Amino acid sequence: MDTRFREYDEYTEYNMNKHEQYRLNQLGEYPFARLRKLLDGLTPNPELEFIDAGAGEPRLPLPSFVQPTLDAHISGFSKYPTTTGNDFLRQSIAAWLKRRFSLKSIDAGTQVLSANGTREALFAAAHALINPNAKSKPWVMMPNPMYQIYLGAAITAGGKPYLQPCTADTGFAPDIDGISHDVWRDTALVYVCSPSNPTGWVADGAYYTKLLELAEKFDFYVLADECYSEIYYADKPIGLLEVAQNMGNTDYKRCLVMNSLSKRSALPGLRSGLIAGDASLIQNFSKLRSYTGPATPLPLQHVAAAAWVDEVHVQQHLNIYRNSLDAFFKVYGGEIPEGSFFVWLPVEDEQAFVRRAYQEQAVKLLPGSYLGAEDENGMNAGSHYVRAALVDGVEKAAELATRLQKLK
């Protein structure tokens, strides 16, 4: 029998399975759609200048190299780019990874891919790395609260989300100590976000080491979302690949890392990021991407390559984020998060607080529960928190704190 037909039959049977057919319906509404509904019909206080601290969209000046690089390579719009990212971009990414994480080697050809921003890549990765028909390894682990893409990816790829509650009691670290042997054995993939959106927690070397030891023992993949790695308050965050190398895992076996120019370079509209790690995972992922086709236009790849080379603008941005955190917490009080530009504030009723902030103080925030999911006990680890993004510079951060202080 022609194996292509056999595969087609299996695929049809699989699609006919009613339960599997409606995976998309298992996804909740995206947090910003829920936020729009929550604020629908309310008017922000017209006496105050509006502050949008809802979305994690950096609003800093465009780095100076963007326009000239774009101008110089504008003719590239008349060519198809490759889905892997063209050679010059992958070289530039590999060189940055080596510098930033003290890697002895990373091969641009086999261990690096370009992404159209990390969002699509974080989502697609689960589809490349987990096998929906392999019932023996259903768990896709992720922090709770989380960047909601992990949850959507796990569900649509046919995995079962396993939520790791990140609470103040554990310093917001996703638990890896209290998980049973059976769950680890049945885990296919672990998403880890460091620095974390929304809590600001940062993985240290010991945490990543333990996770990689478990990955080796129980044979699962670790996908580290490190898109806030260049935004931190005190110490530069360590990276997963660096830890793997220090453990002697110089091939980065079982590891994938994603990073982005959206946060590092304040270029969220460029839609450019990186995927790096285990060559065999990269190969599988690359195959999937050759079908889904998320190729970055060539002129934008040139801008991205220039951004990975330049650290001056990154340092300027970092100073602004650090000063914004200082300015915010000087007024509002509390503990400054280790990483990211988010502040994660405990409140009694997060939806009521967000509505009041909007109406009384002309401030847009995000309810923490919209970034979490209910666990089997009906608990949402994002409840009783709101998230504010300090993305508008130091003065606005101080003003935001003053306004939120009035709602306490």
Ligand X SMILES: Cc1ncc(COP(=O)(O)O)c(C=O)c1O
Which residues of the shown chain bind ligand X in the complex (CB under 6 A)?
56, 117-119, 122, 147, 193, 197, 225, 227, 260, 262, 268, 273
Residue nearest ligand X (C-beta atom): 117
For residues 93 and 262, the answer to whether their CB atoms sit within 8 Å is no
Return the H-helix or E-strand segment holding 216.
helix 205-218
Calculate Rg over the CA atoms of the chain.
21
CB of 143 to ligand X, least distance (A): 10
Q: What gap in Å lies between CA 24 and CA 59, rounded to an integer?
A: 33
- Name the residue nearer to ligand X (CB basis): 101 or 342: 342
Torsion on CA atoms 367, 370, 373, 374, rounded to nearest 10:
60
CB of 275 to ligand X, least distance (A): 11
Q: What gap in Å lies between CA 408 and CA 368, rounded to an integer?
A: 16
CB of 406 to ligand X, least distance (A): 28
CA-based torsion, 191, 192, 196, 199: positive or negative: positive
- Name the residue nearer to ligand X (CB basis): 225 or 338: 225
According to DSSP, the β-strands at 187-193 and 221-225 are parallel
- Name the residue nearer to ligand X (CB basis): 85 or 268: 268
- Name the residue nearer to ligand X (CB basis): 51 or 227: 227
* Encoded tokens for 343: 């502040």
For residue 305, give the 3-state DSSP assignment: helix
CB of 231 to ligand X, least distance (A): 11
What are phi and psi for residue 307, nearest 5 degrees? -70, -35
CB of 267 to ligand X, least distance (A): 9
- Name the residue nearer to ligand X (CB basis): 111 or 229: 229
CB of 229 to ligand X, least distance (A): 11
The DSSP annotation for 28-53 comes to ---HHHHHHHHHTT----TTS--EE-
- Name the residue nearer to ligand X (CB basis): 56 or 159: 56
- Name the residue nearer to ligand X (CB basis): 147 or 252: 147
CB of 230 to ligand X, least distance (A): 13
